[in-house]
Amino acid sequence: MSSSKDGKRFFNTTAKKGEIHELKQELKTPDKAKKKDVVKKVIAAMTVGYDVAPLFPDVVNCMQTDDMELKKLVYLYLINYAKTQPDLTLMAVNTFVKDSLDPSPLIRALAVRTMGCIRVDKITEYLCDPLDRCLKDSDPYVRKTSAVCVAKLYDISPELVEERGFLDNLKDMISDANPMVVANSVAALSEIHSMSGKPVFELTSQTVMKLLAALNECTEWGQVFILDSLVDYSPKDSKDAESVIERIIPRLQHANCAVVLSALKVILKFLRFVSDEDFKGPMVKKLAAPLVTLLNTEPQVQYVALRNINIIIQRHKEILQNNIKVFFCKYNDPIYVKMEKLEALIKLANAENIDQLLLEFKEYSTEIDVDFVRKSVRAIGRCAVSIAESAQKCIDVLLGLIETRVNYVVQEAVIVIKDIFRKYPNKYESIISTLCENLDTLDEPEAKASMVWIIGEYADRIDNADELLETFLETFPEETSPVQLQLLTATVKLFLKKPTEKPQEMIQLVLSNATQETDNPDLRDRAYIYWRLLSTDPEAAKDVILSEKPVIADDTASLDPEMLDGLLANIGTLASVYQKLPDTFVARVRPAVQLAAGDFQAPTLDDGGAGQDPARAEQSAPVPDMPDLLGGLGDLEVSAPAPAAAAAAAPVDLMGDLLSLDVGGPAAQPAAQPPAGGSDPFGLDSLGGAPAAAPAVATQEPSLPVLLTVEKGKGLEVSGRLERRQGQVSYELSFRNATQQPLDGLMIQFNKNSFGLAPAGALQVPPIAPGASQRTSLPMSVDPQAATPAPAKPVLQVAIKCNQLGVLYLADSVNLAAVLMEDGAMQYAQFQQVWVKAPAANTQQQQLSSGGKTLEGCVQSLQGSGLFASGSGAFGAHLSGKFTLGALALVEVSAPQNGLVQVTCKSQRVDLLPLLMAHVGKALA
């Protein structure tokens, strides 16, 4: 029976129905050798995914044997099928218990090890006694196996572990004479500690000493366990930290990369406790060489090392600053290694090494892999933005690359040049002409949008800006929305800078296209805003649209310090590879925390990438298809504490009484949706058409009127406005935290009001860091229950509550356009009928300013405010509308004379008339 035949003998058995029966019979054979053969067949069938569970009793019958190999096979079978046959598994218990008393340590260990793997409740009870014995076994091999078994048991039944005092056994075993027993005990304790969420295992300086002693003697894997657990120890003082570091530093010479990385993790953490600079300096220097050597390992290991290096150099650039050459890509490096090396090079770039780097980047820009080439081109842009004195050099290289006319290189170059213009406005304009020669190569939205932005921004310096834009405008309806938005803004800029005839024609074309022929609300809303701005006050439009844009920053150090600390404590683990905190991707640990932290990775407001988009750099990173993972990078609030829990904990107080607040509501549905994002009209206006005068957050969005000042809001500034979009009322809210503490647990309630407005869901605002702002869109519903019978007032009383500041009250004036419904249009005949029938009491008349508009202009303004033209003639125009809750609004506007119009309003609700009149007045002014 030679082994080489095993494969064919066992794997060619295509197990069919009949064969189960056959195997069953064969298992009954008294011949030991044959029996083993049959069990092998069973295992082979199991391995290829065939269900051999029906053989359970027969296989278990073979368990009692002297043949070690057969025993192992049966155990393997048990591990896989015990769950399907819990009752029959009990049959095996006796043998297990007997084996755990066997004279051979190998068999004792095997019994305990296997029993721990059988995840059947009934078995676990029987496991306790053998485990108890084996934890105190005289043979270290049995003890090290039992130590791990405690963690297995804890996974199935934490109660049993605590009841039987196994945790204390484990803690005692840290003092075991055998280093492997120590290492496994520490691994088990660490796991239990993290599973339970309770402080099961706290490291004292005494335990640390024991662990350090075992460190020198245990296997490489044991060293990893010990080092990984040491990172949770906080040294008493600087001296303590120094002595631990000194004990660990020799590990950096280990051939096992995991030992090196874990040692590095501990050293980096402990160095922060060291106050003696004379100790620190030379120590940090010692870290460089081992890190560099990791780059000469297998590619998969290199990848892990590089992901970690890219974290480490965000804190300790100095470690590798002089070693940039080791990150130069080799021709045969796998793409995932190349990408990470490139990222490291970008992070290490400075004015001294930039010449060398640019040579490399240029070289990479001619490689085959498109993603890599793009990232290389982008790297040049990032260096230009981050190193001001080298910007010119970078631009020269970019121009050289544009001349290759390779399609994707040119597009990428245009995108980064846009960033460079954002960083250095009105410099380097000479390159615009080169860019303009390459317009026809651009076919990707991002590149197009960038180019259009550049043309708009420099419309006054580009002689034929109008012609260039015109060619883009030809395809306006087919463009993607980022390009459309940019075209809209660029055309407006062109018009403001060169208010000649042709731009005027263009702008009319664009505005009518963007308002009438699109169903994209972002585009339409922006077009309307421009339209209104331009028609009311062109000078103000200039101030807003052509204002100075905030300077973009370089994002190479993209992780916030807290996040970085978290990742540094996780060096070597998956968290470091994903560059995401473990809570956000690990399902097993503390599910509540995971939910909150995971869901709060809302895109921040400048996500559209006002030039430098941190997420973008990661898009091309080789950890693929994990937008949600990598989206968490950069400037996002990943480390936000769990607001759901906070909200739930908030006591029912004042606010609940006053406004009959449903406290359970917000807590029950924590953060289902990220705020802002899609519904936000200007979220995509990254390239800068938006007013820059607004506070930092609102740079990409139209500013909202302030409802509650910092003074009145105890440090919380609330801005907001009711909006109506596609038949839905929403409350656009923005919160700015001017206090010194993070604010969380925000909730909102409304008093009964004239329009029946009530929140359609809970307020979804992640915790707001001090100095930060959050913007959200609260969907509103119209509910007759929420309407007050009192005479209509255009006022909305709002109460906002947060955990730190208590309840804040504010009153907002209702934007009537938001409560006029879409189905307010009326046939002219119907209009006339209603108009004539309306009693005089339901009529109000007033002379208003036409704002210098013609009758047509007046109608247009009113149409933009929720009313619908019904009919018009030389005498004037009729418009209709319908309020939420169904009241009609009929308006007659006379032809303007001397800048005045006669306005007549009718409605079945008299109390709405003054509001309607005021609304019309505002729209016309």
* Residue 672 is a binding residue for another protein (CB under 8 A): no
Q: How far apart are CB 102 and another protein at their closest, in Å? A: 8
CB 179 within 8 A of CB 218: yes
The position carrying tokens 């755990």 is 100
* Residue 83 is a binding residue for another protein (CB under 8 A): yes
Q: Which of 27, 60, 135, 181 binds another protein (CB under 8 A)?
A: 181
Closer residue to another protein (CB): 371 or 429: 371
548 burial level (CB within 10 Å; 0-12, 13-18, 19+): exposed
Closer residue to another protein (CB): 148 or 817: 148
Q: Which residues of 321-351 are buried (b: 16+ CB within 10 A; e: fewer)?
A: beebebbbbeeebeebbbbbbbbbbbbbbee
* Residue 574 is a binding residue for another protein (CB under 8 A): yes
Neighbours of 681 (CB within 10 A): 21
Closer residue to another protein (CB): 132 or 155: 155
Q: How far apart are CB 556 and another protein at their closest, in Å? A: 22
Q: How far apart are CB 256 and another protein at their closest, in Å? A: 6
Q: What is the C-alpha to C-alpha distance for residues 121 and 578, in angstroms, rounded to an integer?
A: 36
Q: Is 848 helix (H, G, I), strand (E, B) or coil?
A: strand
**For another protein, which stretch binds (CB under 8 A), given 66-74, 651-659, 698-706, 875-883?**
66-74
* Residue 444 is a binding residue for another protein (CB under 8 A): no
Q: What is the C-alpha to C-alpha distance for residues 780 and 764, in angstroms, rounded to an integer?
A: 13
* Residue 301 is a binding residue for another protein (CB under 8 A): yes
How many residues belong to the site for another protein (CB under 8 A)?
Answer: 133
Q: What is the C-alpha to C-alpha distance for residues 250 and 272, in angstroms, rounded to an integer?
A: 19
Closer residue to another protein (CB): 342 or 800: 342
Closer residue to another protein (CB): 222 or 688: 222
Task: Please list, in sequence order, all residues whose beta carbon lies within 8 angstroms of the beta carbon of residue 437, skipping any fewer than 6 positions away.
Answer: none
Q: What is the C-alpha to C-alpha distance for residues 398 and 380, in angstroms, rounded to an integer?
A: 7
Site for another protein in 274-293 (CB under 8 A): 289-290, 292-293
**C-alpha distances in angstroms, 298 versus 251, 303, 306?**
20, 9, 12
Closer residue to another protein (CB): 298 or 389: 298
The position carrying tokens 């490489």 is 220
* Residue 148 is a binding residue for another protein (CB under 8 A): yes
Q: How far apart are CB 106 and another protein at their closest, in Å? A: 5
Site for another protein in 683-712 (CB under 8 A): none
Closer residue to another protein (CB): 81 or 458: 81
Q: Which of 93, 97, 586, 838 binds another protein (CB under 8 A)?
A: 586
Q: What is the largest CA-CA distance in the chain?
A: 116
Q: Pull the structure tokens for residue 750.
A: 């409304």
Closer residue to another protein (CB): 229 or 489: 229
* Residue 190 is a binding residue for another protein (CB under 8 A): yes
* Residue 49 is a binding residue for another protein (CB under 8 A): yes
* Residue 548 is a binding residue for another protein (CB under 8 A): no
Q: How far apart are CB 396 and another protein at their closest, in Å? A: 17
Q: Which of 261, 676, 808, 916 binds another protein (CB under 8 A)?
A: 261
Q: Which of 80, 535, 536, 863 binds another protein (CB under 8 A)?
A: 80
Q: Which of 65, 178, 536, 813 binds another protein (CB under 8 A)?
A: 178
In the shown chain, the binding pattern of residues 709 to 748 toward another protein, with x for contact by CB under 8 A and - for none, equals ----------------------------------------
Q: Which of 346, 373, 698, 917 binds another protein (CB under 8 A)?
A: 373
Task: Determine the angle formed by the axes of helices 538-545 and 521-536, rounding to 10 degrees.
Answer: 130
728-737/868-872 β-pairing: unpaired
Closer residue to another protein (CB): 157 or 194: 194
Q: Pull the structure tokens for residue 39.
A: 């069990």
Q: What is the C-alpha to C-alpha distance for residues 579 and 563, in angstroms, rounded to an integer?
A: 9
Q: Which of 101, 589, 592, 900 binds another protein (CB under 8 A)?
A: 589
Q: Is 822 helix (H, G, I), strand (E, B) or coil?
A: coil
* Residue 565 is a binding residue for another protein (CB under 8 A): no
Q: How far apart are CB 632 and another protein at their closest, in Å? A: 12
Q: What is the C-alpha to C-alpha distance for residues 212 and 190, in angstroms, rounded to an integer?
A: 16
Closer residue to another protein (CB): 41 or 801: 41
CA-angle at 192, arms to 190 and 197, nearest 5°: 100
Closer residue to another protein (CB): 3 or 516: 3
**For another protein, which stretch binds (CB under 8 A), given 104-112, 158-166, 442-450, 772-780?**
104-112
* Residue 632 is a binding residue for another protein (CB under 8 A): no
**Closest by alpha carbon to 305, among 341, 274, 281?**
341
* Residue 454 is a binding residue for another protein (CB under 8 A): no
* Residue 512 is a binding residue for another protein (CB under 8 A): no
Site for another protein in 380-419 (CB under 8 A): 404-409
Return the H-helix or E-strand segment holding 807: strand 806-813
CB 212 within 8 A of CB 174: no
Q: Which of 194, 481, 751, 832 binds another protein (CB under 8 A)?
A: 194
* Residue 170 is a binding residue for another protein (CB under 8 A): no
Q: In three state form, how does the secondary structure of 633-694 look?
A: CCCCCCCCCCHHHHHHHCCCCHHHHHHCCCCHHHHHCCCCCCCCHHHCCCCCCCCCCCCCCC
* Residue 254 is a binding residue for another protein (CB under 8 A): yes
* Residue 474 is a binding residue for another protein (CB under 8 A): no
Q: Which of 87, 138, 331, 516 binds another protein (CB under 8 A)?
A: 331
Handedness of CA 397, 403, 407, 413 (dihedral sign): positive
**C-alpha distances in angstroms, 357 versus 325, 344, 362, 395?**
9, 11, 8, 14
* Residue 68 is a binding residue for another protein (CB under 8 A): yes
**Closest by alpha carbon to 602, among 622, 628, 625?**
628
Closer residue to another protein (CB): 401 or 494: 401
Sheet with 716-725, side-by-side order of all strands: 706-708, 716-725, 728-737, 773-782, 757-759
* Residue 105 is a binding residue for another protein (CB under 8 A): yes
* Residue 104 is a binding residue for another protein (CB under 8 A): yes
Neighbours of 682 (CB within 10 A): 22
* Residue 587 is a binding residue for another protein (CB under 8 A): yes
Q: How many residues does the chain have?
A: 925
Site for another protein in 209-248 (CB under 8 A): 216-221, 224-225, 228, 247
Closer residue to another protein (CB): 212 or 271: 212
* Residue 322 is a binding residue for another protein (CB under 8 A): no
Q: Which of 440, 588, 711, 840 binds another protein (CB under 8 A)?
A: 588
* Residue 440 is a binding residue for another protein (CB under 8 A): no
Site for another protein in 602-631 (CB under 8 A): 622-626, 629
Neighbours of 646 (CB within 10 A): 19
* Residue 253 is a binding residue for another protein (CB under 8 A): yes
560 burial level (CB within 10 Å; 0-12, 13-18, 19+): middle
Q: What is the C-alpha to C-alpha distance for residues 881 and 912, in angstroms, rounded to an integer?
A: 12
Q: In three state form, how does the secondary structure of 526-571 look?
A: HHHHHHHHHHHCHHHHHHHHCCCCCCCCCCCCCCCHHHHHHHHCCC
Q: How far apart are CB 328 and another protein at their closest, in Å? A: 6
* Residue 376 is a binding residue for another protein (CB under 8 A): no
Q: Which of 89, 169, 576, 749 binds another protein (CB under 8 A)?
A: 576
**For another protein, which stretch binds (CB under 8 A), given 108-116, 234-242, 470-478, 719-727?**
108-116
Handedness of CA 468, 474, 480, 482 (dihedral sign): positive
